[in-house]
């Protein structure tokens, strides 16, 4: 069967899908064309029906793609919000790291300073012990 014959065979099916011209407005409203297309002057009814069916399918797909785009935008917004939260958490983490390093340095210096002081105290004690021993020997010899 050639293509023209196939198209003619489809015409009754296409007509069956369309509401009659005297159908209520609510039924015909579903058949409204998107505002970016208009039928050509002199177009045949079957051409108009076929073109309308094609453009409706494309419009339905375009709407689904647009919805996917909106979902993608919402996901992007959530990711941006998470990135902001992560950036804040990372900043707090870096501040904590620096605070630990600063405290480690402070304790390092305190331990070394205390160690120097302990050595001086030990030296002073040794010196006093020697002086007391010498004083005790002098008293014993006198």
Q: What is the pLDDT of residues 15-67, one digit of tens each?
A: 666 666 655 444 444 568 999 999 999 999 999 999 999 999 999 999 999 99
Q: Is residue 121 part of a domain?
A: yes
Mean pLDDT of 5-16: 63
Quick check: 64 and 52 in contact, CB under 8 A? no
Q: Is 53 exposed, middle or buried (0-12, 13-18, 19+ CB in 10 A)?
A: middle
| pLDDT value of position 28 | 45
| pLDDT value of position 42 | 93
pTM tops 0.85, yes or no:
no
Q: Is residue 6 part of a domain?
A: no
| pLDDT value of position 66 | 97
| pLDDT value of position 136 | 86
Q: Is residue 21 part of a domain?
A: no
Longest CA–CA span in the chain (Å) reads 145
Domain residues for 132?
33-141
Quick check: 14 and 46 in contact, CB under 8 A? yes
Q: Is residue 24 part of a domain?
A: no
Q: What is the 3-state secondary structure (H, E, C) of 29-89?
A: HCCCCCCCCCCCCCCCHHHHHHHHHHHHHHHHHHHHHHHHHHHHHHHHHHHHHHHHHHHHH
Asked if residue 131 has pLDDT above 90, the reply is: yes
How many separate domains does the chain show? 1
| pLDDT value of position 13 | 67
| pLDDT value of position 122 | 95
| pLDDT value of position 96 | 98
Q: Is residue 18 part of a domain?
A: no
| pLDDT value of position 137 | 86
| pLDDT value of position 33 | 93
Quickly state the pLDDT bin for 140 (edges 50, 70, 90). Answer: confident
Q: Is residue 19 part of a domain?
A: no
Q: Is residue 22 part of a domain?
A: no
Q: Is residue 87 part of a domain?
A: yes
Q: What is the pLDDT of residues 66-110, one digit of tens each?
A: 999 999 999 999 999 999 999 999 999 999 999 999 999 999 999
């Amino acid at each position: 069967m050639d293509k023209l014959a196939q198209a003619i065979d489809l015409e009754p099916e296409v007509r069956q899908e369309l509401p009659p011209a005297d159908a209520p407005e609510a039924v015909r409203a579903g058949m409204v064309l998107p505002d970016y297309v208009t039928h050509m002057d002199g177009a045949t009814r079957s051409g108009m029906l076929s073109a309308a069916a094609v453009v409706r399918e494309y419009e339905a797909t375009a709407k689904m793609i647009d919805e996917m785009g909106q979902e993608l935008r919402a996901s992007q917004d959530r990711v941006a919000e998470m990135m902001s939260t992560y950036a804040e958490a990372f900043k707090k983490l870096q501040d904590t790291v620096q605070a630990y390093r600063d405290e480690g340095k402070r304790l390092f210096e305190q331990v070394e300073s205390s160690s120097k002081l302990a050595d001086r105290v030990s030296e002073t004690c040794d010196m006093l012990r020697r002086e007391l021993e010498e004083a005790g020997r002098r008293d014993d010899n006198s």
